[in-house]
Amino acid sequence: MKKDLYIVRCGEVALKGMNRPYFERVLLERVKKALECYDDTEANWKDGLMFVRVPHGADEDDVISKCVRVFGVASVSPAVQAPKEMNDIGRLASEFMKEIIDEEQIKSFKVKAKRADKTFPIESPEIARQVGGMVLKKCKVLSVDVHRPDVELCVDVRREAAYIYRDKVKGFGGLPLGTNGKGLILMSGGIDSPVAAFMMAKRGMSIEAVHFHSYPYTSQRAQEKVEELVKVLAGYMGRVRMHVINLLPIQEQIVKNCPEDETTLLVRRFMMRIAEKIAEKNECMMLITGEDLGQVASQTAEALVVTDNVVSMPVMRPLIAMDKVDIMDKAREIGTYDISIQPYEDCCTVFLPKHPVTKPKLPRIEKSESKLDVEALVTAAVDSEEIVTIQP
Ligand code: ATP
Ligand code: MG
């Protein structure tokens, strides 16, 4: 069967020393899995590049968008393979450009040549010049623009063959999913936590989620919004399991027994405790939150110290030093922003104090908490969990 070729480049995986074969193997599996809707897809590594072959006629945009969503992929280019003869390279390069002209409004191009095989008798600048000349002859609508070409046509002469490909489509980089343990994201319906989950997954961490609601103070629709967000994330990381917990019984106890200005912080300490228990039960080695230093009262340095104090598991806060505008840009880029800004209530906003403490002192917070049966409340919450599995 005739196949279409794509060249996939890895970013950091290439920097791995002894472990490189392992990372390459996982990345190969991830790319194959991403393209499993195409029968008979082949993928293999050759001298640091991944060559992916899908059945001829597969939608190019779809293949590319599936590949660039795989963490660890730095870039992807549609390509053709040519025999290592200048006439063949020129002919195939012209055909390749003709196909592009048929589909896109392009007027200019430039050829960039690379000669990894130094035994090939023609040097790179001369390869570029000759191929450029042959393309110009066959594609009359095109002219050469070395500064701002509409398409950069690359010719890469390697040991086994020559490859012709066009400009690269960038991926997210990072490391293949599953190469860095598993973490539990505390997932709200806001802008930040989906971005935090994405960033950790991009570094190879598998993700499980926990979401707290205060039903019936928070609506069913609010939870569906969170599920929609996780669905977007699942598009990058595959099926995600989400633990769903009603925090209302705990919130009611806090409101009844503790100072109003400490409510949010006390709720957050419970969230962390419950999350840690769920993480332990599900082999997650870290908690992940979307907290960002100073963004709100519960995220001042003092508040974060008091929140952290209740758990012994490491808490990852990948957004901690980012500005909100940059987090918002990232949310747009990964496709969660428009869902996040839908106005649904979150359990944190249900019993929001008018003037939350911004510089909490641990002894005072612990004293307030001593009025509650913390352990029993946490156990009851963990036992009441529901699990939803969200598919891409
Ligand atoms: P986000 O945009 O992620 O909601 P935020 O700026 O609104 O963040 P907070 O509401 O203080 O900040 O929440 C801080 C972090 O606590 C969130 O990023 C998330 O990790 C966690 N969190 C908040 N609410 C919930 C919830 N209902 N369920 C699970 N985790 C939550
Ligand atoms: Mg929030």
- In the three-class reduction of DSSP (H, G, I as helix; E, B as strand; rest coil), residue 112 is classed as strand
d(CA 344, CA 335): 18
Instruction: For tokens 């993700």, name the residue.
Output: 207
Model confidence band, residue 330 (pLDDT cutoffs 50, 70, 90) = very high
User: Are the beta carbons of 46 and 116 closer than 8 angstroms?
Assistant: no
* Residue whose CA lies nearest to ligand 1 atom number 2: 190
User: Are the beta carbons of 388 and 244 closer than 8 angstroms?
Assistant: yes
14: pLDDT strictly greater than 80 = no
Q: H or E element: which one contains 366? A: helix 362-369
Model confidence band, residue 166 (pLDDT cutoffs 50, 70, 90) = very high
- Nearest partner of 185 among 202, 168, 161, judged by Cα: 202
225 lines ligand 1 (CB under 6 A): no
219 lines ligand 1 (CB under 6 A): no
Percentage of the chain lying above the pLDDT 90 cut: 90
Note if the bond before 343 is cis, omega within 30 degrees. Answer: no
- Atom index in ligand 1 nearest the CA of residue 191 equals 2
Pocket residue to mutate for ligand 1, from 184, 185, 188, 349, most atoms within 8 A of Cβ: 188
Burial of 189 (0-12, 13-18, 19+ CB in 10 A): buried
Going from the Cα of 212 to the center of ligand 1, the distance in angstroms, rounded, reads 9
* Residue whose CA lies nearest to ligand 1 atom number 10: 348
pTM: 0.93
171 lines ligand 1 (CB under 6 A): no
What's the rounded mean pLDDT across residues 15-22? 85
183 lines ligand 1 (CB under 6 A): no
- Considering only residues 251 and 15, tell me which one the structure prediction assigns the higher pLDDT: 251
* Number of C-beta neighbours around residue 314 at 10 A: 11
What's the rounded mean pLDDT across residues 194-201? 98
Nearest ligand to the CA atom of 226: 1
Pocket residue to mutate for ligand 1, from 184, 186, 306, most atoms within 8 A of Cβ: 186
Model confidence band, residue 263 (pLDDT cutoffs 50, 70, 90) = very high
* Tokens coding 178: 């599953």
d(CA 319, CA 333): 15
Instruction: For tokens 């095109």, name the residue.
Output: 142
d(CA 385, CA 392): 22
Going from the Cα of 354 to the center of ligand 2, the distance in angstroms, rounded, reads 17
pLDDT of residue 17: 81
275 lines ligand 1 (CB under 6 A): no
Amino acid letter for position 39: D
Q: Which residues of 324-349 are buried (b: 16+ CB within 10 A; e: fewer)?
A: eeebbebbeebebbebbeeebebbbe
6 lines ligand 1 (CB under 6 A): no
212 lines ligand 1 (CB under 6 A): yes
- Atom index in ligand 1 nearest the CA of residue 264 equals 11
* Residue whose CA lies nearest to ligand 1 atom number 12: 291
The full set of domains in the chain, from first to last, is 1-79 (3.30.70.1510), 83-168 (3.30.2130.30), 182-390 (3.40.50.620)
